[in-house]
Amino acid sequence: MAFQNILDVVVVGYGPVGQTLAILLGQRGYQVAVYERWPSLYPLPRAVFHDHEIRRVFHAMGIGQDVEAISQPSATYQWFNADWKTLVEIDWSSESISDGPVGYLFNQPSLEALLDRKAKSVPSVTVHQGWEAIELHERADHCEVKLERVTMQDGKVTRSGEMQTVKAKYVIGADGANSFVRKASGIAFEDLGFQEDWLVIDLKPNDGVKLDVPDIGQWCNPARPTTMVPGGPGYRRWEFMRLPHETREDMQRPEKVWELLSPWAGPDQATLVRYALYTFRSLIADNWRKGRVLIAGDAAHQMPPFMGQGMCSGLRDAWNLAWRLDLVLRDVAAPALLDGYTPERRPQVRAVIDASIAMGQVVCTSDLQKAAERDAAYLAGNVPPLPPFPGLTDGLIVHAQNSADGGIAGQLSVHGQVRNGDTTMRFDEAVPTGFQLIGLDIDPQAWLSEAARTALARLGAHTIGVTRDASKLVANRVLYDVSGKYQQFFAQHDAKVVIVRPDYYVFGAAHTAEEANALVAALVAGIGLVHDEACESQASAMA
């Protein structure tokens, strides 16, 4: 069987990244087909953490409240030495720039079930489970993917011989660490040097059982480095590092599992959900786009789990790709806009991997002398704090305001509660997702030229004002900044107008309202809008 129609996008892989891509592109009206070799959703837990930025993505997809129902806000992330003295505390429960705690814990099968229902409810999305991609070819104006129907039993593939070929303008590989799409495209992986085996165990405590365990922490015990975290509401997770004298087979014996858990839980207190030995690695693809083929998530990068950023980084990939593909597929921007995907995402992910490796090296110390030296340094306060979470340092930003140099461009924008009339709501409920031109104490629309207005209209952008001055409120145009977060953010960067991208990163800022037109012109130049005579004629007539 072969589809003659050329779809907009084929996504290979249907984990959280592939599901998110399907939803984001499908909600924009594009014809998207997703193919996954597993015939059903993977039933076992993996990722357990998402941060405040990813919470915004869930809200943008319309599942924010559903995800909150299966999540719990994180407590303070603590690192202890062997004697349970606190070495490090990272307050993931504190207020973030995104209006809520820094982090949340969840159960991945529950999240995937939500994403699955959402993806399958989008009319332009079709999901095909039990199909494995086996060939990929790029043509002049499309790609062709050949697939074979398969069944899976005990992790083993049984091939049916039934084939189909699909065509799409773009193919995205969200097919995991062993990505077929990456390999078929000849994209190389760079190994950044971290490799450790850890046994991951998920438990469900029995009703009424309260286990005596830190809420979320690392026990940096050289005798057995151990991670303890919630696995979402009602679940607990432990991770134990394999020591040099232990074999992989030994670590996966059921009696070994309960032996490792014995200080905290026994078979009479909890049900074993699953256990598996994972090799934590640090890998990153050299390039995330090759012609009409792109990769995202674990297909593009893998990292140690100590920052909880593996899935989060993959969802940022999807978030970045979705708005770029939207502009390209609408013929608003040339395909060259996709060239900015790797320069934006790779440095940020590389910085996160480097930080995860550094944290892993602290946690994974099994040498007694080195552990003692580490403890002494931390307890004496001689270790610098972790650097702030990295922003974007390349791509579609005003480079003179680069976040790498302390500027606003490339930073994650602020998000908070606003009031419109008598109604208080999240900002992303008041203003649709897309490019946003936000003015402080003004309606920025009033300061724009017709050419700037026309360009923003082509981008599908929205203009809005925020203020703490009640005398400057304008219904539906200038909203009240309930918490003062916007006023503080603008003041911090001496900004009067800010352009925020669809992925909530700041493109750049203007110090005065009069400079708003120049800021829009810089955005237009950076995107490279496709020539549109009809729009330009209309703008000239109105000028």
420 with 312, same domain? Answer: no
Predicted confidence at residue 152, as pLDDT, reads 84
Same domain, yes or no, for 299 and 413?
no
Whether 64 maps to a domain, the answer reads: yes
Cα 169 to chain centroid distance, Å, stands at 24
Work out the number of other CB atoms within 10 angstroms of the CB of residue 160: 11
- 85 located within any domain: no
Shared domain check, 185 and 58: yes
Tell me, yes or no, whether 37 lies in a domain.
Answer: yes
Residue 178 lies in a domain: yes
pLDDT exceeds cutoff 70 at 187 = yes
**pLDDT at 67 > cutoff 50:** yes
45 and 175 housed in the same domain: yes
Q: Show which of 351, 368, 390 is a domain's final residue.
A: 351
Give the per-residue pLDDT at 542: 27
Question: Residue 532 has what pLDDT?
Answer: 62
Query: Do 340 and 421 fall within a single domain?
Result: no
CB atoms within 10 A of CB 257: 18
- Kindly state whether residues 311 and 457 are assigned to the same domain: no
Taking residues 428-452, report their average pLDDT. Answer: 97
- Backbone phi and psi for residue 35, each to the nearest 5 degrees, phi listed first: -125, 135
In a domain, 76, yes or no: no
At 538 the pLDDT is: 37
Mean pLDDT of the 416-432 span: 96
Would the pLDDT of 537 be above 50?
A: no
- Among 312, 327, 351, the domain boundary falls at 351
Q: Is residue 375 part of a domain?
A: no
Q: Rounded distance, CA 332 to CA 309, Å?
A: 32
pTM here is 0.94
Percentage of the chain lying above the pLDDT 90 cut: 93
Q: What is the CATH number of the domain that holds 142?
A: 3.50.50.60
Residue 364 has pLDDT above 80, yes or no: yes
Per-residue pLDDT averaged across 270-274, rounded? 94
In-domain check, residue 245 = no
Q: What is the mean pLDDT of the chain?
A: 94
Clarify whether residues 323 and 424 are in a common domain: no
Same domain, 404 and 346: no
Report the pLDDT averaged over residues 341-347: 98
CA 262 to the chain's CA centroid: 35
Judge if 44 and 117 occupy the same domain: yes
Contact 130, 151 (CB under 8 A): yes
Is residue 367 scored above 50 in pLDDT? yes
265 and 242 Cβ atoms separated by less than 8 Å: no
Confidence grade of residue 539 (pLDDT, cut at 50, 70, 90): very low
Whether 172 is covered by a domain: the verdict is yes
169 and 298 in a single domain? The answer is yes
Instruction: Count up the domains in the chain and report the number.
Output: 2
Instruction: For residue 454, give its domain range.
Output: 399-542
What is the mean predicted confidence (pLDDT) over 378-388?
91
Q: Which of 333, 351, 369 represents a domain boundary (last residue)?
A: 351
User: Which pLDDT value is given to residue 4?
Assistant: 63
CATH number at residue 504: 3.40.30.10
333 and 465 both lie in a single domain: no
Average pLDDT over residues 467-476: 96
Task: Note the residue count of the chain.
Answer: 543
466 pLDDT tier (thresholds 50, 70, 90): very high
21 lies in the same domain as 147: yes
